């Protein structure tokens, strides 16, 4: 199976306290989701007029990580459809498993996607 591993370092701007998702200076769940999505996105070798967007993210954030922690995220492709790609993801801080996830991305045409957005009224 296809795999990609990426490294991230938790900075002070990645904390729950800074992002507003919590009150502590530990890796925020939304930032961890972004790390995982970024790793999955980077696995896809798409034509320049195409990109992928996150559609489903089922994640368990299992353990906290302090500022300065090195986070290792691994994405593995489970299935490729015509327009969708399913991934399994894991994140570690050292030997500690801090998160697992199932994720699906949808492949879209960049221009058509943005045209749809521009034509929608802002609520």
Check pLDDT > 90 for residue 106. Answer: yes
Domains of the chain with bracketed CATH: 3-118 (3.10.129.10)
How many other CB atoms are there within 10 angstroms of residue 84's CB atom?
14
> Residue 84 contacts by C-beta under 8 Å, 6 or more apart in sequence?
55, 104, 105, 106, 107
Average pLDDT for residues 41-64, to the nearest whole number? 97
Check pLDDT > 90 for residue 117. Answer: no
User: Where does the pLDDT of residue 103 fall: very low under 50, low under 70, confident under 90, or very high at 90 and above?
Assistant: very high
How much is the pTM? 0.93
Check pLDDT > 80 for residue 96. Answer: yes
- What is the Cβ-side half-sphere exposure of residue 57, based on CA atoms within 13 angstroms? 20
How many other CB atoms are there within 10 angstroms of residue 57's CB atom?
16
User: Where does the pLDDT of residue 12 fall: very low under 50, low under 70, confident under 90, or very high at 90 and above?
Assistant: very high
Q: Is the dihedral of CA 29, 75, 79, 113 positive or negative?
A: positive
Check pLDDT > 80 for residue 44. Answer: yes
**DSSP SS3 for 41:** helix
């Amino acid at each position: 199976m296809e795999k990609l591993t990426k490294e991230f370092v938790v900075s002070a701007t990645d904390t729950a306290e800074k992002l507003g998702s919590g009150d502590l200076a530990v890796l925020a769940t939304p930032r961890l989701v972004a790390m995982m999505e970024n790793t999955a996105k980077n696995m896809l070798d798409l034509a320049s007029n195409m990109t992928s967007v996150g559609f489903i993210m089922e994640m368990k954030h299992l353990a906290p990580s302090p500022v300065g922690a090195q986070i290792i995220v691994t994405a593995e492709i489970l299935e490729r459809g015509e327009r969708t790609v399913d991934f399994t993801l894991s994140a570690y801080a050292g030997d500690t498993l801090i998160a697992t996830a199932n994720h699906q991305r949808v492949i879209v045409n960049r221009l058509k996607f943005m045209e749809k957005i521009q034509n929608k009224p802002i609520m």
